[in-house]
Structure 1
């Protein structure tokens, strides 16, 4: 097993996740099986209870793990399926060590950060790195480990020490460290001092980088590269210039052009493992060609599709990272230029003082209402859903977006005055009150928040009769069922389904019990779809999420019978690209 560690210095949010994912993607082009681990040095057990406005999106895995958003990057770039244990947090590690101490596993020893916590971290990495993560079912060849935060922070100290020890445990020939740093441009001059200081701090902790990935707004000048090499104890070819590009999807190509694989191979002798996998090399070449083709589509796209994203956390775009990526994947496949029009949903509630926001909504080609929690901005989302339904504008509602679309329909078509959700109005009786359009799921713990939602991969079955002419079913490939990832506590009141369906709002997909509503679709509309699950979590660069693909296609005006039939044919005949 080879290990590639990606750490960061100078500032946080420097792009370690994209660099780690891009490195893994290039390794796959060599025919290697790649897995990833993300280390987050916060005390939370997971990201499930953290505010999107503080930490960004909470990404959900097949097993229901609520994790850091970078695991989404890994899955999207590498086409792998990770587990909750691939996200290590300080909280998890302390809980693990303390539980062992309570059971007496340390035989009366004084339990300390070194060696007990650092050993536990190393054991965890070795164990998890061997779990198969793709459809081959084979143990990975390479594990990419991203160390979150900034090296030097007190929170990350135990992990840095564990990785220092780990390089000797696995052998330095199996361990490669890429440190991501920053070269700011001040008055036209590229400044290397922050990178020099970051590498000095890193080496003082016992870790010496094998490569330095330098983030800069512009291409590094040769003297800058030579200066970094000289003062940071590396060869010039070990300095990788990750300058600003049109999109993050260009980063693998950028790294490839700078011979990243050759430098990794020199350190890790990767070609020795590739020789036993000749049958996968062809697929690797095919992967890179497809990736390059999509990036070319991104650059050459002329026709613009505008999607109004009506959300509750629009002040921090990372709150909707997977939604953004799912839209991008679809736009690249359709060779369309994507423009996301960000609209804070609460602004739509005051049309007099927020005319500009309504103008933006009305000029958009499609409307997307993503997931969220709490009552703030809900009426604005309902108004957006109403506008899309009445004016036949393509609409996609995800999780909360499905619920507000149903509430809007119940109010304005079924004439249920003040219909709402038990989430927003706790006076509603979910059993006897017809105003309870959305109700708490009976099996969900209502007292504890962490890890208590309906989480992870669940099947959705298309209902015969209701889904016979369904657009979304055809976009999925006309299969009888699909499996997608969930994260919610509330659902459409099953008692109202028949009344809604009689008026044209059809729940074409339901769970295994045929009671829980999973997909809604409106009759006589270009594209009006809602999903209780989060389809964005499974969207891949080379395999866009069907509901998002449908939204973009409808918004671009290309959804016709031929398009829908092509979706069926492509889904049922597609080859494995990874």
Structure 2
């Protein structure tokens, strides 16, 4: 598929750029099967015919892609132009047996109906929700592409248009003279209906993030912290509620007197490549957490799966002190040793996750934490509605039976993956998502 711009000059759609680019492609030995004409207004029929004639492709090989209110409209009007019929012929999909009224056809019809409802509801959405993203890399917004899409998908589900404001976390830090950026950042934060702190690395801007987390907690503004944002929420609680004024992460200050966030012991400090805790991991909700908003928005499931990417974790030595003051680690890893979800009971929505749930968001199946966050920002009734909907029909986006990197030992021997001594490896078997593997 060759996507080409069709500019409008003096009110006339021009095809010369498309002709030139196709000619250059053919000079390289590449012939486009399909030409997508990108234009501001719907492509005129005569212009489409001209592209077909001068680029030596059939009329059904030219499709128009004009500006629309939402990119989610694009699949539907491509279908209206016969794209599916062309792809079926080109890829010989007609040879695949699809019985009339069979499961494949029903699944396709259901998907088409759901997608049509999604775009229709977007066109009739008038209310908005004001979300402030407090991050380190806001000058390059594509750094948070997965986060943006998660917020968009959640907003579509609740029937609100997303008004996303970007705040550089450094601008929230008071450094001597108050600058206009400082005032603008706090004005934006004060107007937020929801505050989000995404992942990141390094010390720059983290004090501003802590200030934002404190504001959300004290003013009862819905808050979601992801990865670093989760650790920031824990640090803010340790400092301002538990009285640990020196609470810090060893990532930000290796010599801190109160290492609330520490380097994971099994991760190498000398070799940086391939040393992160990566991939799909299980999170088990603890007993007595039926009040948990995160658990509820996952449909009330006892165990959830999300992708992780981190080197640091909450120091186990501080967990009792943190929870004594009211912070709750509602979700832990399968062994109950690693803190993965933290929440405040009684707050409208104050949640942090060590995982990155935004990696698996879908337009028709938004990421549950982001859905709960957006719903809470819209109001308690919206959150209640989405929780009920999730209980009725939440489906995890991950393939059933997907392997996890976290082993569960069948014996009481030391973990052979962490202590690979011959005695530990010999005669020890490990279960990975139901598969029995003999490490010997």
> Structure 1 length normalisation: TM-score?
0.65
Using the alignment, how far apart are the partners of 1:572 and 1:195 within structure 2?
45
Checking the alignment, whether the CA contact within 8 Å between 2:290 and 2:296 is kept in structure 1 is: no
Distance 1:562 1:371, change over 3 A: closer
Q: Does residue 223 of structure 2 align to residue 223 of structure 1? A: no
Q: Counterparts of 1:415-426 in structure 2 under 5 Å?
A: 415-426=243-254
Three-state SS of the structure 1 residue aligned to 2:54 is helix
CA 1:464/1:560 → structure 2, altered by over 3 Å: closer, same or farther? farther
Cα distance, 1:561–1:292 mapped onto 2, change above 3 Å = closer
Preserved CA contact (<8 Å) 1:214 1:242 = yes
1:274 and 1:255, CA in 2 relative to 1: closer, same or farther beyond 3 A?
farther
Deviations 1:252-279 (A, max 9, x none): 1121121101122232332221436832
- Following TM superposition, by how much is the alpha carbon of 1:313 offset from its aligned partner in structure 2, in angstroms? 1.3
Give the C-alpha shift of residue 534 in structure 1: 0.4
CA offsets, 1:76-95, max 9 Å, x none? xxxxxxxxxxxxxxxxxxxx
Selected match of 2:96 from 265, 268, 273: 273
Residue of 20, 23, 26 corresponding to 1:200: 23
Q: Distance in 1 between matches of 2:396 and 2:203?
A: 42
Residues 1:470 and 2:298 aligned together: no
Separation of aligned partners in 2, 1:517 and 1:298: 37
Q: Distance in 2 between matches of 1:304 and 1:489?
A: 37
Q: Equivalences for 1:340-355 in 2 at 5 Å?
A: 340-350=164-174, 352-353=178-179, 354-355=182-183
Counterpart in 1 of 2:436? none
* CA displacement, residues 221-280 of structure 1 (integer Å, 9 cap, x when unaligned): 233222221221112331111112122211111211211011222323322214368321
Task: Say how many residue pairs are matched.
Answer: 393
Q: Is the 8 A contact 2:360 2:367 kept in 1?
A: yes
| In 1, Cα distance between equivalents of 2:219 and 2:367 | 25
Structure 2 Cα separation of the partners of residues 419 and 380 of structure 1: 15
- For residues 483 and 330 of structure 1, the distance between their equivalents in structure 2, rounded to whole angstroms, comes to 19
Q: Structure 1: where are the runs of 5+ without partners?
A: 1-177
> Structure 1 residue aligned with 2:377, among 542, 555, 567?
555
- From 283, 292, 295, the equivalent of 2:116 is 292
Per mean C-alpha deviation after superposition, the further-off stretch among 555-564 and 408-417 is 555-564
Unaligned runs of 5+ in 2: 399-440
Q: TM-score, normalised by structure 2?
A: 0.84
Cα distance in structure 2, aligned partners of 1:235 and 1:564? 47
Kindly tell me: are residues 573 and 219 of structure 1, through their superposed partners in 2, closer, same or farther at Cα, counting changes over 3 Å? closer
Alignment of 1:216-255 (within 5 A): 216-255=39-78
SS for the counterpart of 2:96 is helix
Aligned in 2, Cα 1:572/1:307: closer, same or farther, shift over 3 Å?
Answer: closer
Structure 2 match to 1:399:
227
Cα pair 1:471 1:564 within 8 Å, conserved = no
Q: Quick check: 1:512 aligned with 2:334?
A: yes
How far did residue 571 of structure 1 move? Answer: 3.5
Q: Is the 8 A contact 2:98 2:104 kept in 1?
A: no
Q: Tell me which protein shows more helix as a share of its residues.
A: 1
Distance 2:325 2:140 in 1: 38
Structure-2 residue corresponding to 1:335 = 159
